[in-house]
Amino acid sequence: MAWIYLFIAGICEVIWAIKLKESQGFSKPMPSVITIVTMLVSFWLLSLALRELPIGTGYAVWTGIGVIGTVLFGMIWLNEPRDAVRITCIILILIGIAGLKWSAVSPGQGATPPSS
């Protein structure tokens, strides 16, 4: 369930980033409200996911989903550059997210917390 929470949190991050731009510095009420609500939902879902996932993995995947989603939105709907370097970087981020997911060990499944 943690990965589902994390995925939805990442989608919410994309939405709030897009709406943040549309809010024009929080001067437009509706995009501003959507930004704040989706930010809160995104952070809440991330916090639920981090109950089971390592923080480094969870945070990196969450921000990776946000980065990739926001860049793709900009490229597709806002006519932002679509050059080979940007596409290559998106692919590298995607590979990093996949690697972190596949290598993640949840607490209680072999991870040993540091001793104090």
Q: What is the pLDDT of residues 41-98, one digit of tens each?
A: 999 999 999 999 999 999 999 999 999 999 999 999 999 999 999 999 999 999 998 8
pLDDT reading at 109 higher than 60 = no
- Total domains in the chain come to 1
In a domain, 110, yes or no: no
In a domain, 50, yes or no: yes
The token pair that represents 31 in the structure block: 């995009």
Determine phi and psi for 60, rounding to 5 degrees.
Answer: -65, -40
Determine phi and psi for 107, rounding to 5 degrees.
Answer: -55, 135
pLDDT reading at 104 higher than 90 = no
Domain span holding position 66: 2-103
pLDDT reading at 112 higher than 70 = no
The DSSP secondary-structure symbol of 113 reads P
Average pLDDT, the chain: 90
In a domain, 74, yes or no: yes
Residue 10 contacts residue 62 (beta carbons within 8 Å): yes
CA distance 64 to 58: 10
